[in-house]
């Protein structure tokens, strides 16, 4: 399982019934829905040998609906499914997810006024 698969499965298990990987939400997807992505940062520290010790992973959840309540509900469910939980990334020891930054509600005037909210969580990983 990829890191993204692990995070997506946790979000779906947390109650977000329509969650997709980037660019996989169908056209005219029923709302509300969320898009989940995972990114890796550069190594966080190095030993004198030049080997790195830790890295940061970021999970970004973008939730959309035609009204604020639906977008915020899916965002809350996704955050609750991840925050303070330790991801099961293969080959790594991980800290629990913690919210790094949330965003204000954003309305897309070019898409029938769809409301979106984005939350980014992070965890620190170290190879086992």
pLDDT, tens only, 82-112: 999 999 998 888 999 999 998 889 988 777 8
The radius of gyration of the chain's CA atoms, rounded to the nearest angstrom, is: 16
- Condensed to tens digits (0 to 9), the pLDDT of residues 9-35 reads 999 999 999 999 999 999 888 999 999
85 by DSSP, 3-state: which? Answer: coil
Q: Which CATH architecture has domain 3-127?
A: 2-Layer Sandwich (3.30)
pTM summary value? 0.87
CA neighbours closer than 13 Å in the CB half-sphere of residue 13: 9
Distance CA 120, CA 100 (A): 6
């Amino acid at each position: 399982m990829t890191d993204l698969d692990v995070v997506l499965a946790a979000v779906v298990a947390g109650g977000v019934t329509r969650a997709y990987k980037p660019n996989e939400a169908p056209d005219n997807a029923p709302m509300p829905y969320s898009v989940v992505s995972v990114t890796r940062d550069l190594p966080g520290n190095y030993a004198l040998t030049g080997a790195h010790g830790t890295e940061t992973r970021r999970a970004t959840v973008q939730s959309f609906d035609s009204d604020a309540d639906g977008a915020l509900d899916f965002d809350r469910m996704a955050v609750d499914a991840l925050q303070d939980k330790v991801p099961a990334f293969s080959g790594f020891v991980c800290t629990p997810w913690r919210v790094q930054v949330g965003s204000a509600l954003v309305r897309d005037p070019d898409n029938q006024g769809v409301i979106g909210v984005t939350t980014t969580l992070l965890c620190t990983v170290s190879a086992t």
